[in-house]
Amino acid sequence: MNAHRMLELAQALAAAKSRQDVPAALKLCHPDMTLEAPPFGTAAHGPAENERALTRFFASFPDYDVTLEGHAVGDGTLICWGTVKMTMTGERFGVTPGGRRAELPVFIQFSFKDDLIASELFSFDLSELCAQSDVSTDAVRRTLFGDLARARR
């Protein structure tokens, strides 16, 4: 797949997710799609898990908006960077957010198969998200990772 098509797919996915349009996002994804978000310790595989993961994510961040500002291509992989804006809501992370909208740098790595997105690795600074959301990073990490968060100190 050429670089132009890879970027076109990534931009279409970013636009669908910024609208919180799960069906449109899933149409861009290969049936074997893997969506990883290391800051949250999550990985979703296949259409059903990806649908659940995106629905849950948008429930936690209903105003999610991502802007892709740059990219690099190599050997079937697309790396994008940009800015994500989102407000943490609810108590999914074991905390009560302050209601401020966070604005963070984001790094996204994509791979492709059969003219669709085969994988997405979505990464950002969890500590910065927590700081801008007026919540404790330690409390969020304990919710996400349990005792593992304490053991890593």
- Reported as a single tens digit per residue, the pLDDT across 93-111 is 888 899 999 999 999 999 9
The residues with which 77 forms a beta bridge, in sequence order, are 74, 111
Q: Which of 72-86, 87-101, 106-120 has the lowest mean pLDDT?
A: 87-101
In this predicted structure, what is the pLDDT of residue 1? 85
Question: Can you tell me the mean pLDDT for 5-14?
Answer: 97
Q: Which amino acid is at 54?
A: L
DSSP 100-135: PEEEEEEEEEEEEETTEEEEEEEE--HHHHHHHTT-
Residue 90 has which token pair? 């609810």
In this predicted structure, what is the pLDDT of residue 75? 86
Q: Which amino acid is at 105?
A: P
In this predicted structure, what is the pLDDT of residue 148? 56
Asked if pLDDT for residue 72 goes beyond 60, the answer is yes
Look up the pTM and report it: 0.91
Pairing assessment for the beta strands 65-74 and 29-37 based on DSSP bridges: unpaired
Question: Is 4 strand, coil or helix?
Answer: helix
Listed in sequence order, the residues at least 6 apart from 2 whose beta carbon sits closer than 8 Å to its beta carbon are: none
Digit-coded pLDDT (tens) for 118-140 = 999 999 999 999 999 999 999 99
Digit-coded pLDDT (tens) for 21-64 = 999 999 999 999 999 999 999 999 999 999 999 999 999 999 99
Asked if pLDDT for residue 147 goes beyond 80, the answer is no
Question: Can you tell me the mean pLDDT for 78-85?
Answer: 97
